[in-house]
Amino acid sequence: MKPIYDYLPTYHQVEANNLKGLQPGFVVAQMEIAESAKADLLTDGMFENGHICAITSDGIVKATGDEKALFIHYTEPLNTLFNGAKFFAVDVSAECGRLVQLIPGDEWMSDMDPEDVCIEGRIVELTSSDGQSSDDWYKVVTLPDGTPAHHYMFLG
Protein backbone atom coordinates (compact mmCIF):
# COMPACT_ATOMS: atom_id res chain seq x y z
CA MET A 1 0.00 0.00 0.00
CA LYS A 2 1.35 3.40 -0.99
CA PRO A 3 1.70 6.15 1.64
CA ILE A 4 -0.71 9.06 1.25
CA TYR A 5 2.22 11.34 0.35
CA ASP A 6 2.54 9.53 -2.99
CA TYR A 7 -0.84 10.97 -4.01
CA LEU A 8 -0.05 14.60 -3.19
CA PRO A 9 1.07 17.06 -5.90
CA THR A 10 4.76 18.00 -5.73
CA TYR A 11 6.38 21.36 -6.38
CA HIS A 12 9.86 22.83 -6.85
CA GLN A 13 11.94 23.36 -3.71
CA VAL A 14 14.68 25.72 -2.53
CA GLU A 15 17.36 24.98 0.04
CA ALA A 16 18.56 28.44 1.06
CA ASN A 17 22.26 27.91 1.70
CA ASN A 18 23.10 31.61 1.87
CA LEU A 19 20.36 34.13 1.00
CA LYS A 20 21.77 37.28 2.55
CA GLY A 21 18.58 39.23 1.82
CA LEU A 22 16.88 37.34 4.66
CA GLN A 23 19.20 38.86 7.28
CA PRO A 24 18.43 42.59 6.83
CA GLY A 25 14.86 41.90 5.71
CA PHE A 26 15.14 42.59 1.98
CA VAL A 27 11.84 40.77 1.49
CA VAL A 28 8.75 41.62 -0.54
CA ALA A 29 5.82 39.87 1.10
CA GLN A 30 2.59 41.67 0.22
CA MET A 31 2.69 42.03 -3.56
CA GLU A 32 0.44 40.23 -6.01
CA ILE A 33 1.64 38.56 -9.19
CA ALA A 34 1.02 40.73 -12.24
CA GLU A 35 -1.78 39.39 -14.45
CA SER A 36 0.65 39.34 -17.40
CA ALA A 37 3.04 37.06 -15.48
CA LYS A 38 0.65 34.45 -14.09
CA ALA A 39 1.16 32.08 -17.04
CA ASP A 40 4.95 32.22 -16.50
CA LEU A 41 4.99 31.95 -12.69
CA LEU A 42 2.05 29.79 -11.64
CA THR A 43 1.43 26.05 -11.85
CA ASP A 44 -2.27 25.29 -11.41
CA GLY A 45 -2.67 28.53 -9.43
CA MET A 46 0.29 27.74 -7.17
CA PHE A 47 3.48 29.83 -6.88
CA GLU A 48 6.41 27.42 -6.52
CA ASN A 49 9.63 28.22 -4.70
CA GLY A 50 12.70 28.95 -6.81
CA HIS A 51 11.29 31.27 -9.47
CA ILE A 52 13.55 34.23 -10.26
CA CYS A 53 11.40 37.35 -10.26
CA ALA A 54 11.39 41.12 -10.51
CA ILE A 55 8.92 43.67 -9.22
CA THR A 56 7.09 46.30 -11.25
CA SER A 57 4.26 48.73 -10.63
CA ASP A 58 1.94 45.99 -11.97
CA GLY A 59 3.21 43.39 -9.48
CA ILE A 60 5.60 40.45 -9.50
CA VAL A 61 6.89 39.37 -12.93
CA LYS A 62 9.31 36.74 -14.21
CA ALA A 63 12.81 38.20 -14.38
CA THR A 64 14.51 38.70 -17.73
CA GLY A 65 17.89 39.78 -16.37
CA ASP A 66 17.54 43.41 -17.45
CA GLU A 67 16.17 44.47 -14.05
CA LYS A 68 18.40 46.19 -11.49
CA ALA A 69 17.17 44.04 -8.61
CA LEU A 70 16.36 40.34 -8.85
CA PHE A 71 14.42 38.28 -6.32
CA ILE A 72 13.94 34.59 -5.65
CA HIS A 73 10.56 33.27 -4.56
CA TYR A 74 11.20 31.59 -1.21
CA THR A 75 8.26 31.05 1.11
CA GLU A 76 9.07 28.55 3.83
CA PRO A 77 6.52 25.83 4.57
CA LEU A 78 5.31 25.87 8.16
CA ASN A 79 4.81 22.12 8.31
CA THR A 80 6.69 20.62 11.26
CA LEU A 81 5.24 17.11 11.18
CA PHE A 82 7.32 15.77 8.28
CA ASN A 83 9.81 16.98 5.66
CA GLY A 84 7.22 18.17 3.18
CA ALA A 85 8.96 20.97 1.27
CA LYS A 86 8.26 19.27 -2.05
CA PHE A 87 4.53 19.28 -1.27
CA PHE A 88 4.48 23.05 -0.61
CA ALA A 89 3.68 26.00 -2.88
CA VAL A 90 1.80 29.25 -2.25
CA ASP A 91 -1.86 29.33 -3.23
CA VAL A 92 -2.02 32.86 -4.64
CA SER A 93 -5.80 32.98 -4.26
CA ALA A 94 -5.30 32.85 -0.48
CA GLU A 95 -1.97 34.62 0.16
CA CYS A 96 1.02 36.34 -1.42
CA GLY A 97 4.37 34.66 -1.94
CA ARG A 98 7.54 36.01 -0.37
CA LEU A 99 10.37 37.31 -2.54
CA VAL A 100 13.90 37.61 -1.15
CA GLN A 101 16.18 40.11 -2.89
CA LEU A 102 19.28 38.45 -4.29
CA ILE A 103 22.64 39.90 -3.23
CA PRO A 104 25.91 39.03 -5.04
CA GLY A 105 27.30 35.80 -3.62
CA ASP A 106 23.93 34.34 -2.63
CA GLU A 107 23.85 30.56 -2.99
CA TRP A 108 20.96 28.14 -2.99
CA MET A 109 20.01 24.69 -4.21
CA SER A 110 16.87 23.96 -6.17
CA ASP A 111 15.36 21.17 -8.19
CA MET A 112 14.45 23.69 -10.89
CA ASP A 113 16.34 23.15 -14.14
CA PRO A 114 19.21 25.53 -14.97
CA GLU A 115 17.42 26.85 -18.08
CA ASP A 116 14.61 28.05 -15.77
CA VAL A 117 16.96 29.70 -13.25
CA CYS A 118 20.23 30.79 -14.87
CA ILE A 119 20.39 34.27 -16.37
CA GLU A 120 23.53 34.86 -18.41
CA GLY A 121 26.07 36.88 -16.45
CA ARG A 122 23.84 37.10 -13.37
CA ILE A 123 22.93 33.62 -12.07
CA VAL A 124 25.12 30.57 -12.67
CA GLU A 125 24.99 26.89 -11.81
CA LEU A 126 27.93 25.67 -9.70
CA THR A 127 29.30 22.14 -9.98
CA SER A 128 32.25 20.33 -8.44
CA SER A 129 33.84 19.99 -11.89
CA ASP A 130 33.95 23.78 -12.36
CA GLY A 131 36.68 24.08 -9.71
CA GLN A 132 35.21 27.06 -7.83
CA SER A 133 36.16 25.37 -4.56
CA SER A 134 38.21 22.44 -3.34
CA ASP A 135 35.48 21.83 -0.76
CA ASP A 136 33.27 18.82 -1.43
CA TRP A 137 30.13 20.94 -0.92
CA TYR A 138 29.49 21.22 -4.67
CA LYS A 139 29.50 17.41 -4.98
CA VAL A 140 26.15 17.37 -3.14
CA VAL A 141 23.54 16.94 -5.86
CA THR A 142 20.38 16.31 -3.83
CA LEU A 143 18.09 18.21 -1.50
CA PRO A 144 17.66 16.92 2.07
CA ASP A 145 14.79 14.65 0.98
CA GLY A 146 16.88 13.08 -1.80
CA THR A 147 15.38 15.04 -4.70
CA PRO A 148 18.02 15.69 -7.41
CA ALA A 149 19.04 19.36 -7.39
CA HIS A 150 21.46 22.01 -8.66
CA HIS A 151 23.62 24.63 -6.88
CA TYR A 152 23.11 28.23 -8.01
CA MET A 153 24.92 31.50 -7.28
CA PHE A 154 23.85 35.09 -7.92
CA LEU A 155 26.74 37.09 -9.40
CA GLY A 156 25.11 40.49 -9.41
CB 60 within 8 A of CB 29: no
What local confidence, expressed as pLDDT, does residue 133 receive? 61
- Based on C-alpha coordinates, what's the Rg of the chain? 16
CB 72 within 8 A of CB 102: yes
Give 141-151 pLDDT, tens digit per residue: 888 888 899 99
The residue ranges of every structural domain in the chain are 4-154
Q: Where are the alpha helices (DSSP H) in the chain?
A: 38-41, 114-117
- What's the pLDDT band for 81 if we cut at 50, 70, 90? low
Q: Which of 69-73, 129-133, 146-150 has the lowest mean pLDDT?
A: 129-133
Taking residues 127-153, what's their average pLDDT?
A: 78
- What's the pLDDT band for 80 if we cut at 50, 70, 90? low
Distance CA 86, CA 48 (A): 9
In the β-sheet with 123-126, what is the strand arrangement from edge to edge? 14-18, 107-110, 150-154, 123-126
Distance CA 75, CA 59 (A): 17
CB 66 within 8 A of CB 1: no
The distance from CA 33 to its chain's CA centroid, rounded to whole angstroms, is 15
What local confidence, expressed as pLDDT, does residue 9 receive? 77
Residues 6+ apart with CB under 8 A from 133: none
Of 53 and 86, the one with more pLDDT? 53
CA-wise closest residue to 37 among 49, 50, 55: 55
Amino acid of residue 137: W
